[in-house]
Structure 1
Amino acid sequence: PQRRPQEHGGYGDAASGLSLEALMYMYHTDKSRDDHKYSDLYSMLFDAIRHQVRNVTELGVMAGQSLKVWHDYFSRATIFGLDHFAYYDVDTVRLQLAAFPRARLMHADSQRESSVAQLGLAPSSMDFIVDDASHVLAHQERSLHVMWRYVRPGGYYVIEDVEWDRDGDSRTYPVVHAPGRLKPRTREILEGSDAFFADTAVGHRAFDLWSRRLAAWPPVGRSQAG
């Protein structure tokens, strides 16, 4: 754990606006302390450098909630949202983001190298890529293989909602407990990087309620998440 700053009610500072937790909550994402609590981890990683970050890509756009958060949090960054928009109309989402001038929507399949290549992104250009798309391990691996080349040295690639073992013990995660089941390229990336697995549910202020909500949520089938 990291000691949570108290001066301004969160991780942010008064001069730069709202804390990340406040933004996550305000824009109705599932990343705040009432949900997955990813805001704590991201604050630890990025608060000290948030105004130095220049390029951020999120895989899985949904209605654009997280893009709004990143736009306001990373005050000098261009925010790219990559999705194939099978469930949300891209023009509708674009309207939702009209007041966020540094947010860009990209229509592509993050699991296909040729699809992403046509976007013209520069290799090693992203400070931060986050996969919040299908939450299926095979898809997460394929996206990692395609998108890894776009992370700059020293940058971050985060996979949210890492899939548990659907074919065995639901309390285990292949990425941690059975790495031999991962694709060779996945292992190569993880073993050659400063990689770690984080359970952000530790210290959740409403764990039982959150767990019940998760149990009622379809475990697979979403192409995007907020």
Structure 2
Amino acid sequence: MEQVRADRLDEEMEELLGAAGGSERVLERAIGRRGPDRVAAEAVAEIAFRCAPPSGCRGDVRVGVTLTHGPAAYGHLFRLSDGAPVKVSEGVPENVEMRLEARLTDVVRELYGPASGRSLGVFRAELLPALRRDAGAAAGSPDAGWEGCRRIAAATNVIVNAVSDRAPALDRLALRHPTDKWGGIHWFTPHYERHLGPLRDQVVRVLEIGIGGYDDLGESGGSLKMWKHFFGRGLIYGVDLFDKSQCDEPRVRTLRGDQNDPDFLRRLGEELGPFDVVIDDGSHINEHMRTSFRELYPYLRNGGYYVIEDLWTSYCPGYGGDETPGRRDEATAVGLVKELVDAVQHEEIPEPGARLRETGRSLLGVHMYHNIAFLEKGVNEQGGVPPWVGRAPFWGEAPD
């Protein structure tokens, strides 16, 4: 198994994510520590990652994007075509259709800071810069007409929205970065959006067990990209039994390990936690799901969520489940969730037992849906119903 260790670059990126919501002085210091060259390259990669598939470009549109930091300028060419991934290369040639320029600090603040909701005030824009300097050439250029301006506007809009728009619905992201969390087999994204939406604008650490694709490297990492897009201020960690390091990119890091190995899970929590969100979408084997919860829940912060997917395997003998509900509750994921419902009520149970009491003290709520459960962590010690309140109805005997 892979050695788990904290990463200096992760910590620097987390500092940058936090600084993007702070003062200009704090942000400047964070950029300086990470290095303006690195930050500019990561910002350009983030913009390209967030760009929606272009529509309305009608051919290849070239947009030059330059980020400035003091005397330094970092120029990149974005090429946009309908339905194709955005292509990015270094340098900005003279004959671009649109030139955009912005301060690096402004772009970092828009990308990684709290959502501002503004689409103006970040970029300086220049339409057809080469033609502006040559009126004769402009007269004969098809780009200078309304049709040309519309296709350039469509391309520019993709880039501007990638920087300033922080509101793609999670179901759209699940289709764009293919996962099975929405449409067809599972319909999880509305539940995720309901519970995790309030964390979306925060600096978070998200851990997902299971990267997908098994040993097929070409079918991996869709949900990690989805979470990276959804949590624009987050660090995303993925754990898999197979090596998925080809999925590593800025703000996404993978680790190889066994979700049924308590030592590995504890090292994971100690080095990379506390986490804001932990998602178990791993082997779906009931023993593994119970082990992962037992070892990782202590490394979830108050206010965070532990999510267990694919509860259907609780009814599959091949996954350690049982077709008869309730017969093997002590060994299944659904049985674990049932136990946790009692844990939430630990102060009302005369003798809850040490394990139930200890878990219940930090379990604020259990939210159960078809094949998925959200466990909400928080202080759950309100004292219970006082002892002087009667334990039987005062108006008569309880019905049999």
- With normalisation by structure 2, the TM-score equals 0.40
Contact 1:122 1:150 in 2 (8 A): no
Q: Which amino acid aligns with 1:66?
A: S
The correspondence for 1:30, drawn from 150, 155, 180, is 180
1:60 equivalent to 2:210? Answer yes
The correspondence for 2:307, drawn from 147, 155, 158, is 158
| Structure 2 spans left out of the alignment, 5+ residues | 1-116, 118-160, 213-219, 344-359, 373-400
1:138 equivalent to 2:264? Answer no
Structure number with higher helix proportion: 2
1:196 match: 367
Residue 178 of structure 1 deviates from its aligned partner by: 6.3
* 3-state SS of 1:105 partner: strand
Residues 1:105 and 1:180: Cα distance change in structure 2 (over 3 Å):
closer
Contact 2:266 2:295 in 1 (8 A): no
1:104 match: 253
Residue 180 of structure 1 deviates from its aligned partner by: 5.0
- Mean Cα deviation higher: 102-111 or 186-195: 186-195
Q: Which amino acid aligns with 1:165?
A: Y
Residues 1:144 and 1:26: Cα distance change in structure 2 (over 3 Å):
same
- With normalisation by structure 1, the TM-score equals 0.67
2:226 match: 69
Structure number with higher strand proportion: 2
Contact 2:269 2:299 in 1 (8 A): no
* 3-state SS of 1:133 partner: coil
Q: Which amino acid aligns with 1:164?
A: S
1:49 equivalent to 2:199? Answer yes
Residue 39 of structure 1 deviates from its aligned partner by: 0.5
* 3-state SS of 2:178 partner: coil
* 3-state SS of 1:51 partner: coil
Residues 1:179 and 1:148: Cα distance change in structure 2 (over 3 Å):
same
C-alpha distance in structure 2 between counterparts of 1:118 and 1:198, whole Å: 31
C-alpha distance in structure 2 between counterparts of 1:173 and 1:151, whole Å: 29
C-alpha distance in structure 2 between counterparts of 1:46 and 1:116, whole Å: 23
Residue 120 of structure 1 deviates from its aligned partner by: 6.1
Higher relative contact order (CA 8 A, sep 6+): 1
Residues 1:105 and 1:69: Cα distance change in structure 2 (over 3 Å):
same
Residues 1:94 and 1:17: Cα distance change in structure 2 (over 3 Å):
farther
* 3-state SS of 1:18 partner: coil
1:39 equivalent to 2:189? Answer yes
The correspondence for 1:149, drawn from 273, 298, 310, is 298
C-alpha distance in structure 2 between counterparts of 1:151 and 1:173, whole Å: 29
The correspondence for 2:245, drawn from 85, 94, 101, is 94
| Structure 1 spans left out of the alignment, 5+ residues | 1-12, 202-226
* 3-state SS of 1:134 partner: coil
Residues 1:123 and 1:28: Cα distance change in structure 2 (over 3 Å):
closer
Residues 1:164 and 1:52: Cα distance change in structure 2 (over 3 Å):
same
Q: Percent identity?
A: 29
Residue 65 of structure 1 deviates from its aligned partner by: 1.0
Residues 1:153 and 1:123: Cα distance change in structure 2 (over 3 Å):
farther
Residues 1:119 and 1:125: Cα distance change in structure 2 (over 3 Å):
closer
Contact 2:209 2:238 in 1 (8 A): yes
**Equivalenced residues, count:** 177
Residue 164 of structure 1 deviates from its aligned partner by: 2.8
* 3-state SS of 2:291 partner: helix
2:266 match: 117
C-alpha distance in structure 2 between counterparts of 1:48 and 1:150, whole Å: 20
Residues 1:126 and 1:19: Cα distance change in structure 2 (over 3 Å):
same
C-alpha distance in structure 1 between counterparts of 2:174 and 2:222, whole Å: 8
Q: Which amino acid aligns with 2:184?
A: D
Residue 200 of structure 1 deviates from its aligned partner by: 6.5
Residue 79 of structure 1 deviates from its aligned partner by: 0.4
The correspondence for 2:240, drawn from 63, 83, 94, is 83
